[in-house]
Structure 1
Amino acid sequence: MGQFGIGQGVRRLEDQRFLTGEGRYTDDITLPRQCYAAFVRSPFAHAVITGIESEEAAGQPGVLGIYTAQDLQAAGVGDIPCLALMKGRDGRQVDTPPYPALARDRVHHVGDAVVMVVAETAQQARDAADLVEVDYDPLDAVTDVGAALAAEAPKVQESLSGNLCLDWAQGNETDVEAAFAKADRIARIELVNNRVVVNSMEPRALIADYDPQEEKFTLHTGSQGLFRLKDQFCRMIFGIPEDKLHIITPDVGGGFGMKIFAYPEQVACLFAARELGRPVRWTGERNESFQSDTQGRDHQTTAEMALDKEGHFLGIRISTLANMGAYLSNFAPYIPTGASTQMYSGLYRIPAIHAEVKCVLTNTVPVDAYRGAGRPEASYVMERLVDEAARVAGLDRREIRLRNFIRPEDLPYDTGLNRIYDSGDYPRLLQEACRQVDWDNFETRRAESRSRGMLRGIGLASYVEACGGIGEEEARISLDPDGGVTLVIGTMTNGQGHHTAYAQLLHDKFGLPLEKIRMVQGDSEKVHKGGGTGGSRSLLMGGISAQRAADRVIETARQIAGDLLEAAPDDIEFDDGLFRIAGTDRTLELAEIAQRTHQGGGNGLTPIEETDGYTAEALTFPNGCHVCELEVDPDTGCSKILDYVVVDDFGTVVNPMLAAGQVHGGVAQGLGQALLEHTVYDEEGQLITASFMDYTMPRADDVPDVRLTLVQDMPCKTNPMGVKGAGEAGAIGAPPAIMNALMDALAPAGVKRIDMPATPEQVWRVLQAAS
């Protein structure tokens, strides 16, 4: 491997321009004659729109157009489609309500966009939007997923028969019933997986443009990938050929799943650009993000474990109510069903599993994929349930896991839920994490805390997730005139450091300095296909595509080197940027071939450009163990994490520094959900936590020093690079590890249950109730 190649902790190539203010985000782009959009949003969670008065607003300075749902409908603009048309246990497809870009007749959640105002400046658009008068006839609303299923509950969507849009199940119910019938003990828990707002650093933004001569749209927008959006806008919403939409995604300041999707503002602004013949831009303000970005999680779950007298797992049954919000966002029904339940086996041998999920509509912001997308929800259920099983069986929490883990000799292991684990040593990772945190001497530390009037707890979570395996990835590499290379790739970095990782892979192939390896992404007229970023797929799919395209470039260059050196191509060796006739000192640099192929002038050579791709044959399964130790002040309810250890198996790690950054960020997000973050609606559907004054994001002093160990001697057996994926792991392991530690601290005080977020107030209240 090269000096800066696979396995090296290379500093990110991207950071120089980001840290010096040279990043180029959507809001940095300025187009000639651009104008600005503002949206009038519903103040009600559920209401009939009885009238819209916009005459005064239309007469304001700079106003160019005011549009409603009727305008879009008259122009043939379609609704935003749900892409995950799951089938329920009765074989019926999920009920999908209409999801228009601007509300038609009724609004269904606070923040639902009703009217779009376009003006010469952003301030003029906002001022005019304030003058639009929308008359509403308020209706009863429902925000709690359990209450939405009650017979007397208000119907969220008038076009559907009820609020239950999908009743889904997986597993063998008969086997599970038999397992519970013979169980010696049964563990049972009820959990809430709280709703969270994504809060990426860069809010959603866009510029929509239209060329009437070519009848072609251009959309600049932050995204996690181009081609799914392109398909939705062209085929499903506007009914235009794919070559009539050009999507450009520049730098993106965080996505975490939320920027995968098509949104109403994109649709409405594309329509307005065509109507006005001018670019229309919109940048969401933070309060709009709270009201209109897809949100995450929001499950109520009951889980049960059947155990024999030795504490072996016999079966589990899990029932979840999943809040979808007021509309079905792009992948929403898939997240709690296919993405989550197929991971309910965790890392354990469980002979019988049955899971059922009811997807329910409420008068809240739509929910969709958020970092981990179903796998954190599954891990949280399983690891909290395993802790309860240890209590019921009277076993140490480590022992019950070791007793039930899938062992290395069991691999490959079919979980029975369409998942086959190929590699790993789960007991080893748990034992190493517990060794690092000195678990065996914890009771001494607990006693010391008790002497100071504090409550101390320790908890662990052994997680597994499924990565990659989504679609095909393609890479195109050209040999540039200066001897460098340009990689064109369909993945889409949102801040993860893709350029650095790909450059390291290509450094090993070409022997080039990292600065001579360039990357092009985010332009649908330069990139031909690609699945974007999501599901930790980029490196394990895009990386292989890049390596294969590099091999093609080298082979083409070898043929040219053979001609120039007057030797058979099979006799030409290539290493570290140099072609050599085997066994001689006759050489030719890659840079010289680059120059000759770009010279033209009738030399018969043309610039080298090669394309190759990769379609995953199987999913990959990164896994690991998180251990958290914390202390609680019973007088204030404040929790402080004292130690946090992670031992991860990501298979082959291209850049340990990038992987560590992903883990640290994921732990911070998981900690935020466990202890701080909560999206709260009142009974009328008003969003109570609609700003950073009310919604608590983790701060620097909330996040502990994460001690990370990467175990790299178990490469993935189903991925040619041995890569398993790393992007979401931290957010999967952190919530159960933290909450298990917190329960360990609170249980001696008589606390039986606490849900996320375990804020100081919540901790104080459960302690008062227990005492």
Structure 2
Amino acid sequence: MARYVGQRVKRTEDPRLIKGLAHYVDDIRLPDTLHVAFVRSIYAHARINGVDAGEALKAPGVVAIFTGKDVSEKIGPVPCASALPELKVPDHRVLATDKVYFVGHPIAAVVAADAYAARDAAELLMVDYEELPAVVNAEEAAQGGAVIHEQFGSNVAYKLTAGEGDIVAALASADRRIKQRIINQRLAPVAMEPRGVLARYLPGEQELTVWSSTQIPHLLRTQLALMIGIPENKLRVITPEVGGGFGSKLNVYAEEALLGWISMQLGRPAKWIETRRENMQATIHGRGQVGEIEIGCKADGTVTGLRYNVVADLGAYHQLLTPAIPTLTGLMLSGAYKIPAIQINVTGVFTNKMATDAYRGAGRPEATYVVERAIDLVAAELGLDPVAVRRRNFPAPEEFPLKTATGLFYDSGNYEGALAKALENAGYERLREEQRAAREQGRIVGIGVSTYVEICALGPSQAMPAGGWESATVRIEPTGTVTVLTGASPHGQGQETSFAQLAADELGVDMGDVTVVHGDTAIVQYGIGTFGSRATAVGGTAVFVAIEKLKEKASKIAAHMLG
């Protein structure tokens, strides 16, 4: 029996967190640190006729002020890793130069001796704006109107059609066809800890260290090296505690590159801690889809086909994965059902808002809303129980592995069994009786039913921009303690505990003798990071494989010693 895996244990990372002894970016103090405040656009769309920093430079404690003209040719564009056919990618720089295109767009960075002096001086900087018409409605952006990036001629960033099966024939064969407008509203992730960056450059060693509240320290190091123009092996990224990410910190932001560059120019550490207002304005947003579903069905509730025409609000420019998120919606449109023909038609558009990107499921919850709402529409149209319609369209366990009309393979499943268990636990029949009784009394009682298939534990795949693998190194120290180095970057998922459980059981040591190290690119071998529910499934597997190799090596050494 395993001593630790599967057993109730106290999380090893919790004591420092609940005692207030953990260190987030803002808890790290370095001598002579300068503080940065940003001047951000108050307009959604405007030309910049001039920036007057004269009064701000005279303010007490101000060391320097940088504008877009100072850095536009010295720091590369914010990277976009998505590769889609005919995708239009704006050249988005870390500070605006001639134009701003969303509220919160950074225009200038004020560097001062402390955070208060920087904020006060930022209030003195004057920007001469020429306001332009703003495009804030995604559907209107798709149809025309004011163009945000003139070089593209329209606000359409890309169009994509995906899916399999003859959708026209599938819908034509239906006894009923139902349409419904669907809105997945745009939202702000709002992690408890806003973003934060601390950068320190050592000119003698020509080494730059960046502390960042990120989910992807190694990928961030690679991209920052390219943006700033520093050799990657001279750049170190450290991720201390992270107070929530939810995908919003699965990114490479302008502030991270700019802070590193500022420290290199001034020869002193530079720190920026995002305010909550900045967090709402300039950290990626999630969702933002407006579309129409069309579903066809037979009289018994069997679905013949599903089409989803959607306009995706991408925001004013692309962050790391912005254009790719709506494509994940298309992958999951089959949900838990056997639908013979599915088509998604995506129109990704620029609007005068912050970019959208990965947030809590990243395109997949949108798909669940679409297909589950569609199944409920079928039930309502035919006067059937929503549960009955779901059961009719479930694949049977013996039909797995199942290829969906979105191009995915579902390896296994017993959806009927899972739903039956859920209905039993909820007392579904009793709830329906209570609902009927309530309605007879004039009271409205709703009962919601939903199923969900998730694509997660993202591993090696052509669909993964960074490869999808994960890394681990496991060492037995001379004193018998064990060190696990993981390329995953946990920030609340509990891998410091679960990886220690795994190592302790496999190596026969006490769990307290296992230390899990992560989030430091100078110590940990290259890794991909933590997102998409992948850290234990992929990172934990890497730890297990490393342990197996270590045990094999130890066996050879023991055999040699024993003759």
TM-score range, shorter chain: over 0.9
CA contact (8 A) 2:164 2:405 kept: no
Q: Secondary structure at the match of 1:540?
A: helix
How many Å apart are 1:363 and its aligned residue?
0.4
Equivalent position to 2:234, from 226, 231, 244: 244
TM normalised by structure 2 equals 0.96
State the 1:450 CA deviation: 4.9
Does structure 1 conserve the Cα–Cα contact (< 8 Å) formed by 2:216 and 2:251?
A: no
Q: Match for 1:408 among 397, 401, 417? A: 397
- Report what 2:491 is aligned to: 494
Rounded Cα–Cα distance in structure 1 between residues aligned with 2:150 and 2:440:
60
Counterpart of 1:109, as a letter, is F
Deviation at 1:61, TM superposition (A): 1.4
Conservation of the 8 A alpha-carbon contact between 1:221 and 1:247: yes
1:475–1:490 Cα contact (<8 Å) kept: yes
Decide which moves more: 385-394 or 363-372: 385-394
Q: Which whole-Å CA distance do the structure 1 matches of 2:121 and 2:449 have between them?
A: 54
Within the candidate set 157, 161, 173, 2:153 is matched to: 161
SS in 2 for 1:169: strand
Q: Which of 91, 94, 99 matches 2:87?
A: 94
Equivalent pair of 1:170/1:354 in contact (CA under 8 Å) = yes
Shift of 1:541: 0.8
Partner of 1:297: 287
1:383 pairs, out of 372, 391, 400, with: 372
TM-superposition CA deviations, 1:313-371 (whole Å, max 9, x none): 1111111110001111110110001x220111111111111111000100011100001
Partner residue, 1:324:
314
Q: How does 1:397-436 map to 2 (within 5 A)?
A: 397-436=386-425
Question: In the aligned structure 1, how far is the partner of 2:335 from the partner of 2:291?
Answer: 16
Using the TM superposition, name which of 388-397 and 115-124 deviates more: 388-397
Summarize deviations over 1:290-324 as a string: whole Å, max 9, x none. 01110100100211111122221111111111000
1:118 maps to amino acid: V
Q: Counterpart of 1:409 in 2: which secondary structure? A: helix
Q: CA deviation at 1:451?
A: 7.6
Q: What is the aligned partner in structure 1 of residue 432 from structure 2?
A: 443
**SS at the partner of 2:470?**
strand
CA distance in 1, matches of 2:270, 2:133: 36
What is the aligned residue count? Answer: 555
Q: How far apart are residue 491 of structure 1 and its match?
A: 0.4
Q: What secondary structure is seen at the aligned counterpart in 2 of 1:295?
A: coil
2:145 aligned with 1:147, yes or no? Answer: no
Asked whether the 8 Å contact 1:186–1:392 carries over to 2, the reply is no
Looking at structure 1, the residues matched to 76 and 334 of structure 2 have their Cα atoms a distance apart, in angstroms, of 40
Aligned partners of 1:2 and 1:511 also within 8 Å: no
Q: Deviations over 1:263-303 (max 9, x none)?
A: 11112211211111111000001111001110100100211
In structure 1, which of residues 107, 118, 142 is the aligned counterpart of residue 100 of structure 2?
Answer: 107
CA–CA distance in structure 2, aligned partners of residues 308 and 11 of structure 1? 53
Runs of 4 or more, structure 1, over 6 Å off, are none
What is the CA deviation profile of residues 51-103 of structure 1, one whole-angstrom value per residue up to 9, with x for unaligned ones?
111111111111111001111124x211102110211xxxxx21011211111
Partner of 1:198: 189
Instruction: Report if aligned partners of 2:334, 2:342 keep a CA contact under 8 Å in 1.
Output: yes
Matched, 1:276 2:266: yes
Tell me the equivalent position of 2:500.
Answer: 503
* Residue of structure 1 equivalent to 2:360: 371
Question: What is the rounded CA distance, in whole Å, between the counterparts of 1:474 and 1:262 in structure 2?
Answer: 21
Matched position secondary structure for 1:260:
coil
Trace 1:253-652 onto structure 2 (pairs within 5 A): 253-337=243-327, 339-447=328-436, 449-450=438-439, 454-467=443-456, 468-470=458-460, 471-564=468-561, 566-567=562-563
Matches within 5 A, 1:66-145: 66-74=65-73, 76-87=74-85, 93-145=86-138
Matching residue's letter, 2:559: G
Q: What is the CA distance between 1:214 and its match in structure 2?
A: 2.6
Deviations 1:537-591 (A, max 9, x none): 1111111110111112222222233344x25xxxxxxxxxxxxxxxxxxxxxxxx
C-alpha distance in 1 between matches for 2:131 and 2:233: 43
Q: Give ranges in structure 1 of 5+ residues lacking alignment.
A: 88-92, 568-771
Q: Residue deviations 1:442-473, cap 9 Å, x none?
A: 23322565588642111111100112224221
State how far apart, in whole Å, the 2-side matches of 1:452 and 1:329 are.
53
User: Counterpart amino acid of 2:2?
Assistant: G
CA distance in 1 between counterparts of 2:173 and 2:27 reads 64
Sequence identity percentage = 39
- The residue number in structure 2 matching 1:23 is 22
In the alignment, is the contact (CA less than 8 A) between 1:35 and 1:120 conserved in 2? yes
Cα deviations by residue, 1:464-497 (Å, 9 ceiling, x for unpaired): 0112224221110111233221100100112111
Q: Give the AA of the match of 1:277.
A: G
Superposed CA deviations along residues 227-283 of structure 1, whole A, max 9, x for unmatched, are: 221221123x12332112111101111110010111111122112111111110000
Contact preservation (8 Å) 1:474, 1:490: yes
Give the distance between the partners of 1:522 and 1:160, measured in 2 at CA.
Answer: 39
Q: Tell whether the 8 Å contact from 1:225 to 1:490 is kept in structure 2 after alignment.
A: no
**Within the alignment, does 1:228 sit opposite 2:219 as a pair?**
yes
d(CA) in 2 for partners of 1:286, 1:448 = 48
Aligned to 1:696: none
2:464 is matched with which residue? none
**Counterpart of 1:14?**
13
Q: Does the residue aligned with 2:272 lie in a helix, a strand or coil?
A: strand
Counterpart amino acid of residue 162 in structure 1:
S
**Hey, what's the Cα distance between the residues in 2 that align with 1:182 and 1:417?**
20
Q: SS in structure 1 opposite 2:224?
A: helix
Output one character per residue of 1:130-159: Cα deviation in whole Å (capped at 9) or x when no partner.
Answer: 1000110101101110111233x1112233
Distance in 2 separating the partners of 1:123 and 1:164: 41
Which residue of the partner structure matches residue 463 of structure 2? none
Deviates more, 1:140-149 or 1:441-450: 441-450
**Partner AA of 2:381 in structure 1:** V
- Structure 2, unaligned runs of 5 or more: 461-467
Cα distance in 2 for partners of 1:223, 1:449 equals 50
TM-score (normalizing by structure 1): 0.70
Q: Do structure 1's residue 2 and structure 2's residue 7 form an aligned pair?
A: no
Contact 1:294-1:367 within 8 A present in 2 as well: yes
